[in-house]
Copies of this chain bind each other. A is one copy, B any other.
Amino acid sequence: MQRLPGFRDFYPEPLPTSDVWSADARTWIFSRWRETARRYGFREYDGPPLEPLELFTLKSGEEIVGQLYNFTDKGEREVAMRPEMTPTLARLVSDAQRHYKKPFKWFAIPQLFRYEKQQKGRLREHFQFNADIIGESNPGIDAELIALVIDSLRATGLTADDFVIRLSSRNAWQQFFEQAGGKPENAYAFYQAVDKLEREQPDVSAKKFADVGVQIDSVNQFIESGQPTEELQSVIEQLTARGLGEFVKIDYHIIRGLAYYTGVVFEAFDRKGEFRAIAGGGRYDNLVKLISGGKVDLPAIGFGMGDVVLTNLLQERGKLPEFTAGIDVYMLIEDESLRGESLKVIQQLRESGKAIEFSTGPLKSDKQFKRALELKSKFMVRVEKSADGALVCRCKNLQTRDEKTVPATELETWASGW
């Protein structure tokens, strides 16, 4: 009985085989994301992983259905497992926007699903850190969101040597296209051609541009110029004021494929260019209106950062911590008549926040000791009865091999100093 292709099993470390993922690393990455979001004043939200199919086709058209896990449920509803979070966010926002002060700074860590061909760094499910700021249009907001992208990656130990944010502007490209005499009905095809420019053969790209009336040379020239628009200049200045200037560069190769972006767009890449984009996002000032059926009209900017590419990158760069059970004390029970007293001490230590392991049944001392070492426990403690009948705890530091004897009543106080 195997798991479905493109889906992952997450195991505790050390991992049993190379085709499974680390649950410890996942929890650690999520906590880095959540902690960074907190420092930026972002609040968490979530929606159902199963939504009405229409929520997704409304935004992306019927062609998205071919890539979805969609079906008819037992109540004859057309439903789909969510392929992205933005439509759900737009639904939540349009339902509740009157109750919150604007701008909202919201984040979520949904699992997303796409039925598509598996490739390196691309499975059929992934978790995605989604953060959005809704209800504010000044460029300070763009800088704030991009700073969150940067600090979320820095929180995992990555530095300016490891990644860079390639910053661009849909507005700049729109202006370029208009000045080149492009027709509005060809704008989307033009954006798509720019999006694929880096990955396609020059003659394929040249033909695509020619088809929408643009010379590929002028496109390349515009990219090479790298002149920041006023809007991008402001973003860069604000990031520089924060001390984050080295993490961004203007790069007009970036345009984001999707139709709905409206202003600043960006993608985060590893500096060596070995991986797919680590994160991507941008302004989508018209999307909330579209999804709310015109009910609510709010400017917005957001990004998504998947767990697959990030985990691969952290692994490759040796930035992932080694995870263990984090056991503080292995309680050695040699004398079964002291099991009750040992359990009492175990409970007290756990209540004081320590992680404790022990053998729940009789086991030879050497096997208990071996287990303590396997678990990389910091201490081994044994409850003993001293000559006067008082209970004492013999504590051994398993790194230094130092030993210390503490009255059982004082163990908790002593443990608080570890």
Please report A residues at the B interface, Cβ cutoff 8 Å.
1-5, 7-12, 14, 16-17, 20, 23-24, 26-27, 34, 38-41, 43-52, 54-55, 58, 66, 69, 71-75, 77, 79, 81, 91-92, 95-96, 98-101, 106, 108, 111, 113, 115, 125, 136, 138, 140-141, 143-144, 147, 151, 237-238, 241-244, 291, 293, 325-327, 339-341, 343-344, 346-347, 350-351, 353-357, 359-361, 371, 374-375
A359 neighbours in B (Cβ, 8 Å): 140
- Contact, CB under 8 Å: B39 / A355: yes
In the bound assembly, the distance between CA atoms of A361 and B326 in angstroms comes to 45
In the bound assembly, the distance between CA atoms of A319 and B192 in angstroms comes to 53
A115 neighbours in B (Cβ, 8 Å): 73-75
Determine which residue in A77, A92, A354 has the highest number of CB atoms from chain B within 10 A of its CB, and name it: A92
In the bound assembly, the distance between CA atoms of A339 and B237 in angstroms comes to 11
- Contact, CB under 8 Å: A91 / B244: no
In the bound assembly, the distance between CA atoms of A41 and B20 in angstroms comes to 22
- Contact, CB under 8 Å: B151 / A350: yes
In the bound assembly, the distance between CA atoms of A151 and B138 in angstroms comes to 48
A343 neighbours in B (Cβ, 8 Å): 238, 241-242
A340 neighbours in B (Cβ, 8 Å): 237-238, 241
Question: Main SS of the interface on chain A?
Answer: mixed
In the bound assembly, the distance between CA atoms of A357 and B151 in angstroms comes to 15
A138 neighbours in B (Cβ, 8 Å): 360-361
Please give me the 6 A-B residue pairs with the lowest Cβ-Cβ distance, nearest first: A140-B360, A71-B71, A12-B43, A16-B99, A138-B361, A7-B48
In the bound assembly, the distance between CA atoms of A128 and B2 in angstroms comes to 23
- Chain B residue, CB-CB nearest to A90: B1
- Contact, CB under 8 Å: A11 / B147: no
A17 neighbours in B (Cβ, 8 Å): 95-96, 99
Give 5 pairs: A residue, B residue, CB < 8 Å, sorted on A.
A2-B52, A41-B357, A74-B115, A136-B361, A141-B360
In the bound assembly, the distance between CA atoms of A339 and B50 in angstroms comes to 43
Are A23 and B9 also in contact (CB < 8 A) when A344-B242, A355-B40 are? no
- Chain B residue, CB-CB nearest to A92: B9
In the bound assembly, the distance between CA atoms of A238 and B361 in angstroms comes to 11
A325 neighbours in B (Cβ, 8 Å): 41, 43
- Contact, CB under 8 Å: A24 / B3: no
